[in-house]
A = this chain, B = another copy of it.
């Protein structure tokens, strides 16, 4: 049994991680942590997330001595704020823990990215370089060897899983930037009180237009420019990305279908639905799946990609990475 610690366990992603670690036959949930000054410290996690009651009633511990916690852990799951992950991951790594970071702190190998989009200067260039981007279906060989896995953002996961097979195969005319419109459930904003997330204020709208930090993350890992517009939707969980792109000359729908089905032939968590099909949020909510649909007309393609933002967009993708890293069957604790 691998001793597993979750830091930032009080949030929605933390709760999902907690449940999966609890159910995982090879992992032992050895500690749930929150920041030292959190109002949730010492509260049983099931008081915050009633769904866990009777399953996991452990109290949330204030994280004081990182090194001491690290010494007792084999696996660390960081569901922490970006800068917190940045600050504490090296300590866990120094003690030999395998670290799976769900924040943005180690996703893009560029210093200016962090100052511009995250508001802090990155201090750990070495770890940034060693970090493996945890897009599980694409980087499994590297993940299997990694000490530090940077689990992708929710929007980048939905976007890349649809686009990557086409970009890699040269099927798109990238002179015209792909347009990614995506709608996220409110849980994507985290578990906190704010006017923006207030029930009566939520209705569909775009935000972060031209400025969202997931645009450079997508572009960096896809290797091409994209236009990305996130939206807040009036639902709790899930992301639907609708992607419009121009095809390279002479590309047929059959080539598209071939590229997508081949890419995911042995990847159970990505379900290519077929040409003429459209991904539906409901089919993936509360699951670790990504559904992808597509249609072609003339020189254009429209793809739809749906995931659960808290699972395939965060917690279950982290668990996929854990399973890959340690050689456990890929569905373990997820399906």
Contact B191 A204 (CB under 8 A): no
Contact A205 B51 (CB under 8 A): no
Contact A304 B205 (CB under 8 A): yes
CB neighbours (8 Å) of A273 from chain B are 53
Query: Interface digits, A195-214 against B, CB 8 Å rule (1 contact, 0 not)?
Result: 10111111111110110000
Contact B280 A181 (CB under 8 A): no
Query: Interface digits, A274-306 against B, CB 8 Å rule (1 contact, 0 not)?
Result: 000011111111110101010111001010101
Contact stretch, chosen from A84-92, A155-163, A231-239, A320-328: A231-239
Complex Cα gap A335–B20 (Å): 11
Query: Interface digits, A52-63 against B, CB 8 Å rule (1 contact, 0 not)?
Result: 011100000000
Complex Cα gap A293–B194 (Å): 23
Complex Cα gap A283–B295 (Å): 33
Contact B200 A198 (CB under 8 A): no
- Categorize the interface residue count of chain A: 35 or more
Query: Is the C-beta of A170 less than 8 angstroms from some C-beta in chain B?
Result: no
Contact B209 A186 (CB under 8 A): no
Contact A186 B204 (CB under 8 A): no
Contact A55 B335 (CB under 8 A): yes
**Residue in contact with A244 in the complex, picked from B12, B194, B229, B283, CB distance below 8 Å:** B229
Q: Measured between C-beta atoms, what is the minimum distance from A179 to chain B in Å? A: 5
CB neighbours (8 Å) of A183 from chain B are 183, 204
CB neighbours (8 Å) of A238 from chain B are 203-204
Query: Is the C-beta of A223 less than 8 angstroms from some C-beta in chain B?
Result: no
Query: Is the C-beta of A271 less than 8 angstroms from some C-beta in chain B?
Result: yes
CB-contacts of A71-129 with B (<8 A)? none
CB neighbours (8 Å) of A186 from chain B are 199-200
**Residue in contact with A51 in the complex, picked from B204, B233, B282, B302, CB distance below 8 Å:** B282
CB neighbours (8 Å) of A283 from chain B are 49-51, 53
Complex Cα gap A286–B335 (Å): 14
Contact A280 B50 (CB under 8 A): yes
Seen from chain A, the residues whose Cβ lies within 8 Å of a Cβ on chain B are 12, 23, 49-51, 53-55, 176-177, 179, 181, 183, 185-187, 191-195, 197-207, 209-210, 227, 229, 231, 233-238, 240, 242, 244, 268, 271, 273, 278-287, 289, 291, 293, 295-297, 300, 302, 304, 306, 335
- 14 pairs of residues in contact across A and B, judged by CB atoms under 8 Å: A50-B284, A50-B291, A51-B285, A51-B287, A176-B176, A187-B200, A192-B195, A197-B198, A203-B282, A206-B279, A206-B293, A206-B302, A210-B295, A234-B234
Task: Knowing that A193-B197, A206-B240, A207-B278 touch, tell me 4 more A-B residue pairs with CB under 8 angstroms.
Answer: A51-B284, A193-B193, A203-B238, A205-B280
